[in-house]
Amino acid sequence: MGRFNAAKIYVSGLVQGVFFRAYTRNMARSLGLKGWVRNLPDGRVEIYAEGEEDALKKLVEWCKVGPPHAIVEDVKVEWCEYSGKYGSFDIIY
């Protein structure tokens, strides 16, 4: 088992209205990550994910491409301290 970490990820571009949150949830769950994803009023998608560092890095790389129909312009990552307080990965509103 690898080192545990957390990340806040901000994705900008055409990332709302293209199922970005649903695809992110599915990808994060497949990687064994916990946390959430939500749309922001400014048009970006915000992701908070916790889990193994390698899985987090894979999620960040996936976010740079995103799902079909998304046009990702930028991905910003803020590495955070692992809290362990999330039991699943969900879409929040």
CATH architecture of 4-91: 2-Layer Sandwich (3.30)
Q: Please pick, among 5, 21, 25, 44, the residue that the annotation labels catalytic.
A: 21
In order, the DSSP letters of the chain are ---EEEEEEEEEEE-SSSSHHHHHHHHHHHTT-EEEEEE-TTS-EEEEEEEEHHHHHHHHHHHTT-STT-EEEEEEEEEE------SSEEE--
Q: Please pick, among 5, 29, 39, 44, the residue that the annotation labels catalytic.
A: 39
pLDDT along the chain (93 residues), means of 10: 89 98 99 98 99 97 97 98 96 96
- Listed by start position, the domains of the chain span 4-91
21 is catalytic: yes
What predicted TM-score, i.e. pTM, was given to this entire model? 0.95
5 is catalytic: no
